Chain A
Amino acid sequence: MATWLLGRSRILTQKHHLPFFLASFLKHTSPSIHPFQCPLSFSRYESTKAEAQLELDHDVVQDHHNQVIDFPGGKVAFTSEMRFISDSTEKRVPCYRALDDNGDLVKRTNNVQVSKEMAVKMYSEMVTLQTMDSIFYEVQRQGRISFYLTSMGEEAVNIASAAALSPDDIILPQYREPGVLLWRGFTLQQFAHQCFGNTNDLGKGRQMPIHYGSNKHNYFTVSSPIATQLPQAVGAAYSLKMDGKSACAVTFCGDGGSSEGDFHAGLNFAAVMEAPVVFICRNNGWAISTRVEEQFRSDGIVVKGQAYGIWSIRVDGNDALAVYSAVHTAREIAIREKRPVLIEALTYRVGHHSTSDDSTKYRPIDEIEHWKMARNPVNRFKRWVERNGWWNDKDELELRSNIRKQLMHAIKVAEKAQKPPLEDMFNDVYDQLPSNLQEQERLLRKTIEKHPKDYPSDVPL
């Protein structure tokens, strides 16, 4: 605690260097959810990082000569006491929330204000995502699309994070964040086209369903590897910084992704490159069948930020208002301070990993039900919006029936649309068709002519 206090007082003395929005935060923030607990975070703005570090060490027993080792990277105090740093702090890092499970605003919360218009849009998009998931899931079950993967239970992380960003921010998604794309205006029809892999799919039918991407919406195309996007986001963020853009890169991963080498690479590079990137880790408890106890022994993801020299916050991922506030603030920090921020959103994968998975084989149904009902992020946000008088049953009925209709129509259209033409198999491997591909296309066409029945009849030749 002494360490924390020293750190805090240091921060307060630095207040005049801070942009207004940060300073106001400091005044009103309760310590336990303080986003600026790490005094070292300011080291870049001080003449010597070493001094800041030394001050922190007052609570450990230093040797009587008060000597320091002047090591590359800053001075380190000596101590005569042999003491190992424990594997964890006594208390787990608390989880920031603004709404309780009933959707009531918790006392003394320092959430970012959300307007009626914004709140209603957020709620509507959460319902849209939820509805899209349940209908596409059924469509897959009927064998009409080959695969699907829902974001159920994670609607708040999806939509609230998107709502807190600017359209100029570059998204490097994993694959359970279609809500961000939805928020940005990718239509239900476009989602359906992609899932059916038809000629209107921007990805030209080359990837499995749910591998969305849209240049127009600054949303990089999804790839199946779970953490490769993290170091890429640093490169994208570095570009934004060098171009002087008032935007950041935002990248997502799950608890499983945090075990990949790319997670380490991404966070470490981001810190060293001072890149404006926000890492959002959806800790949803499960990586297919691997629970977090089998994934890591740290206090989740949030504590990893400090080890890389990155500000971090743990947030209730099922509280849309908290997610919105954390992402909104993280974005401001990233852009203004040119530094990365790590957000760990505690949430729960209510659905199976994908349509190829049956999660009741490895986790208790009670657990799923609890998160589906008692901790449902959509219901919680709805209660808050209703309580504000911004939403009623009539709106609800209208919204749900409208989305359902749109989805049914979109699916019908997507299902009827033509498959992409055969030439799209060969295009875009390179910017131009090399001779080996020209030859292969020619040979393939001959084979198709000879054995037309071996091939799908619905692909235009």
Chain B
Amino acid sequence: MSTCVRKFGRWVSLVSKRGFSTSTCIQEDASQQSLKSLNLCSAVNQALHIALDTDPRSYVFGEDVSFGGVFRCTTGLADRFGKQRVFNTPLCEQGIVGFGIGLAAMGNRAIAEIQFADYIFPAFDQIVNEAAKFRYRSGNQFNCGGLTIRAPYGAVGHGGHYHSQSPEAFFCHVPGIKVVIPRSPQQAKGLLLSCIRDPNPIVFFEPKWLYRLAVEEVPEDDYMLPLSEAEVIRQGTDITLVGWGAQLAIMEQVCIDAEKEGISCELIDLKTLIPWDKETVEASVKKTGRLLISHEAPVTGGFGAEISASIVERCFTRLEAPVARICGLDTPFPLVFEPYYMPTKNKILDAIKSTVNY
């Protein structure tokens, strides 16, 4: 699978710090399909084109989506599918999600965009008390399974408090929704199409740092990748590393560096955070005897804590060292101090060494 890094303006400076994740999980017959080199933004765009094209009852809406969106993920959709199916909304996140729930409850696929994950909080009530409970509270008489909420998340090097956060853990505490985060263009397209077509409401966080940085060969056709299935993207024997989204790019580099020091890392992309694939992580940890989890969100109460607890429950006797968590620090996301805040390569590498030498 060929990969490359494209340099776009301000992203240039980031390239040295952040790579991107390769994908190995495309269908077997991928080689026969028409592939195109796409960045993550274009892969999302392609998925949205396919979603709108294949289901006339699908809609894309959110702040500024009509002209293509501030990240350009919705480029060309309004021109092709019309302003009645692809439209701007007022700047009101609870309105966007509430509207989406109503639209989805009438049997449509409502694909809502929240411009930044940092701004999803006004919609928290609609997501937690409404979308997540819609099916359950009605005894399965109603559901809003057609709802997919897309939101760019995570660090970008200059985003400060309100353009950098990773709020996934808040939503992982909510039975009734699914939380999905892709790591690469190929994954983004396949997972997004699965989310849009899944009969449950889903929050889909897109790693905005990778929108233009991550480029890989993406099949041009309509394909879906399974939800709630983690993927071992690198085999190893000494320690299991678990992550998702943009953080996997860092963790991949760590694997290469660790290998040079004689440590064999197994890297797992969780992809779906709830309901998550414990079995794949469990099987890996039973093999390696060690686990490290890494995410950008603050360590305390992060989803890493849940993974850690679950794996300790299941693999206690097989663990040869405490579970390590290398995550964001427990501060608001700090602009100037971002390099200190982040779960960087060497922080992870050091933790791997201590875990292996425990």
Contacts and interface: CB of A to CB of B under 8 A. Distances in A.
Interface in B68-96: 84, 87, 89-90, 92, 94-95
B142 interface: yes
Given A220-B142, A265-B92, A266-B95, A236 B135 contact: no
Interface in A140-154: none
B99 A428 contact: no
B130 A223 contact: yes
Contacts of B178: 430
Contacts of A323: none
B321 to A, nearest CB: 26
Interface stretch (A17-25, A408-416, A431-439, A453-461): A431-439
Interface stretch (A238-246, A283-291, A372-380): A238-246
B221 interface: no
Contacts, number: 154
Residue of B97, B98, B107 with most partner-chain A CB within 10 A: B98
A431 B143 contact: yes
A261 B106 contact: no
A202 B106 contact: no
A206 B126 CA distance: 19
A211 B84 contact: no
A225 B125 contact: yes
Contacts of A424: 139
Interface in A155-214: 170, 172, 201-204, 206-207, 211, 213-214
Contacts of B95: 231, 234, 262, 264-266, 268-269
A397 interface: no
B275 A435 contact: yes
A214 B137 CA distance: 11
Contacts of A228: 98, 125-126, 129-130
| A interface, size bucket | 35 or more
B278 interface: yes
Contact of A268 (B90, B100, B134, B138): B90
B141 A202 contact: yes
Nearest to A240: B106
Contacts of A236: 102-103, 105-106
A234 B100 CA distance: 9
A419 B186 CA distance: 48
A458 B215 CA distance: 59
B52 to A, nearest CB: 13
A273 interface: yes
A306 B143 CA distance: 33
B130 A232 contact: yes
B137 A203 contact: yes
Given A230-B98, A232-B99, A430 B141 contact: no
B106 A235 contact: yes
Contacts of B94: 231, 261-262, 265
A265 B90 CA distance: 8
B100 A235 contact: yes
B133 interface: yes
Residue of B102, B105, B106, B126 with most partner-chain A CB within 10 A: B102
Contact of B110 (A211, A235, A428, A437): A235
B176 interface: yes
A355 B98 CA distance: 30
A427 B106 contact: no
A170 B107 CA distance: 13
A230 B102 CA distance: 9
A231 B129 CA distance: 14
A239 B199 CA distance: 18
Contacts of A264: 92, 95
A430 B179 CA distance: 13
A167 B276 CA distance: 42
Contacts of B332: none
A304 to B, nearest CB: 15
Contacts of B139: 201-204, 206, 213, 221, 424, 428
A129 B208 CA distance: 54
Nearest to B144: A232
Contact of B133 (A223, A262, A266): A223
Contacts of A206: 136-137, 139
Contacts of A272: 89-90
A437 B111 CA distance: 27
B286 to A, nearest CB: 17
Contacts of B92: 261, 264-265, 268-269
A61 to B, nearest CB: 33
Given A202-B141, A431-B145, A269 B99 contact: yes
A170 B106 CA distance: 10
Contacts of A233: 102
A220 B142 CA distance: 7
Contact of A232 (B98, B145, B175, B228): B98
B98 A215 contact: no
A147 to B, nearest CB: 15
A231 B110 contact: no
Given A228-B125, A231-B126, A268-B95, A221 B141 contact: yes
15 contacts: A206-B137, A220-B138, A223-B137, A225-B129, A231-B94, A232-B99, A232-B130, A234-B102, A238-B99, A239-B103, A239-B107, A264-B95, A269-B89, A269-B99, A430-B176
Interface of A: 170, 172, 201-204, 206-207, 211, 213-215, 220-221, 223, 225, 228, 230-240, 242, 249, 261-262, 264-266, 268-269, 272-273, 424, 427-431, 434-437
Interface of B: 84, 87, 89-90, 92, 94-95, 97-108, 110, 122, 125-126, 129-130, 133-143, 145, 175-176, 178, 199-200, 228, 275-276, 278-279
Given A206-B137, A231-B95, 13 more contacts: A206-B139, A215-B138, A225-B130, A232-B105, A235-B102, A238-B99, A239-B103, A261-B92, A268-B92, A272-B89, A424-B139, A429-B135, A429-B176
Top 4 closest pairs, chain A to chain B, by CB: A235-B102, A231-B98, A265-B95, A232-B102
